[in-house]
Amino acid sequence: MDGGMTRENMSMRLIDLYAALPDAALVGPRDAAITGIADDSRAVRPGDLFVAVHGERVDGHCFIDAAVARGAAGVLCQVAPDDTPPVPHIVVPDTRAALADVAAAFYGYPSTRLRVVGVTGTDGKTTTCFLLHALLQGTGRSAGLSSTVAVRVGAQSRPTMSGYTTPPRARGPAPPGGNGRGWLRLRRGRGVQPRPHA
């Protein structure tokens, strides 16, 4: 990763993440150190920012206490706490949308330093991704790949373990989770070709 970046030496001040969120309100202290982002309370590690996403069947707000008990250093939520919370809360209109902004800021906006290709459609996306990856690697370029089947960074390949067709957004930068921003930063740190500067 960038200069030996690991979860253990990654840290960002909560106030800096707050600054990346328009229309946000901060409740509680501003000086918390955030060392990761999690949108699943079961995956929270000490120092994480827990993002309470209102899902189709489950509301992440129901798990804020569990996330704090697991060591969350802050919470990103849509509902302001009634009392003074034990950890700072960033309140936004839509946590799902804010998660993308927070992850981009936390991982240093990695997509701005890489060529990124997205493949969309109904059928053939995975095949197309693997073909593109092979073509780029065949030209001598280092390329990364995220698909529903595997995640590749340079020569390293791992199956996705999320069980979802879209890799989770907020899981840390290290394999095997497969998140957009973290994996982009990891790819950049492992020699995947940067985007040329204008």
Could you say which residues of the chain have pLDDT below 70? 1-9, 161-198
Largest interatomic CA distance in the chain = 58
Measured N-to-C along each axis, helices 180-189 and 95-106 cross at an angle, to the nearest 10 degrees, of: 10
Residues contacting 65, CB < 8 A, separation 6+: none
The whole-angstrom separation of Cα 52 and Cα 76 is 6
Question: Please, what are the domains in the chain?
Answer: 2-106 (3.40.1390.10), 111-189 (no CATH)
**Token representation of residue 43:** 């995956």
The residue behind tokens 């993002």 is 51
Task: Write out pLDDT tens, residues 81-98.
Answer: 988 899 999 999 999 999
The pTM (predicted TM-score) of the whole model is 0.72
